[in-house]
Amino acid sequence: MFKKQYLAIASALILTTTLIPTSSQAATGTKNLQAKYNNIKVIYNGAAVPTTIEPFIVNGTTYIPLRMMAGVFNKDVAWDGTKYTVTVKDMPNSQHANELAARDAQIRSMQGTIDSLNKQITDLKNSKSNRDDDDDVQDDLDDLEDQLDKDYDDFKDIEWKFTLKGDEDDIDVEIEVDLDEFQDEYDDMDDSDFEDLVESVVKDIWDEFDDADIDGEIVDEDGDNLHDFSADASDDEIFFEDEKI
């Protein structure tokens, strides 16, 4: 079947690129041709033309199955294997069929545009939803900041200021102290006092964001780092200066 189909192609290739010999020019015989296949596609009015036989190139000329293009141009193609003859006829109402084919191609093109626009709308909605979620999380963090400021405004006679950033999975914590005002009280604190502060703050955060991993630092008002701490929500472990509390 495959050989017969290509024989049909060789007998009547694209009408616009092949000269059909007259009876005086006709000849019979066999020639070996080297065909190049390169996944050639035919696009008609923006839509790919289907075919069971792949177009190919011989000596720089592209050959396309006649039946493939006959459907596009509303032609009826018949192959007579006994006479080695290809017959091409106009289909009934070919003009009307051509109009329908062009309209169908236009509809397919418009549908592609609609699908693309719908995807953009969905992406924009998802993006807005993500931004809204991020805004909600930041609002919760801001509220928690205010609460921590109130709860620890006199811890060890020092006023502590909190800054929280991040999301529900990872939160960065900055605990600020004004050493110009509370240097003596700060110097009176030992490691256990700092550990108590860090542990209490982390547990307060986990009360609101129980799955959040925490990276934090204690800084003075000028931004100089004084202590580091972290917390792993999956193991409920808290580390102060790389030492587990």
In 3D space, the residue among 52, 61, 81, 49 whose CA is nearest the CA of residue 13 turns out to be 61
Q: Which helix (H) or strand (E) holds 114?
A: helix 94-151
Write down the mean pLDDT value for the chain.
83
Whole-angstrom distance, CA of residue 9 vs CA of residue 56:
11
Question: Token pair for residue 62?
Answer: 């592209």
SS3 (DSSP) at 28? coil
Whole-angstrom distance, CA of residue 162 vs CA of residue 148:
7
The answer for residues whose C-beta is within 8 angstroms of residue 205's C-beta and 6 or more apart is 144, 164, 171, 173, 212, 214
- What does residue 137 show for φ and ψ, rounded to 5 degrees? -65, -45
pLDDT band at 182; cut points 50, 70, 90: very high
The strand pairing partners of 90, in sequence order, are: 75
Whole-angstrom distance, CA of residue 107 vs CA of residue 104:
5
CATH of 136-244, one of 3.40.1350, 1.10.540, 3.40.190, 3.30.300: 3.30.300
In 3D space, the residue among 169, 159, 229 whose CA is nearest the CA of residue 198 turns out to be 229
pLDDT band at 7; cut points 50, 70, 90: very low
pLDDT band at 18; cut points 50, 70, 90: very low
Using left for φ > 0, alpha for ψ between -120 and 50, and beta otherwise, residue 99 falls in alpha
Strands of 127-202 (E only): list them: 160-166, 170-177
pLDDT of 17 reads: 39
- Classify strands 56-58 and 243-244 as parallel, antiparallel or unpaired: unpaired
Cβ pair 55, 35 in contact under 8 A = no
Task: Identify the DSSP state of 25.
Answer: T
Q: Could you tell me the pTM of the whole model? A: 0.47
Whole-angstrom distance, CA of residue 243 vs CA of residue 221:
25
Please report, for the chain, the start and end positions of each structural domain, with discontinuous segments joined by +. 2-90, 136-244
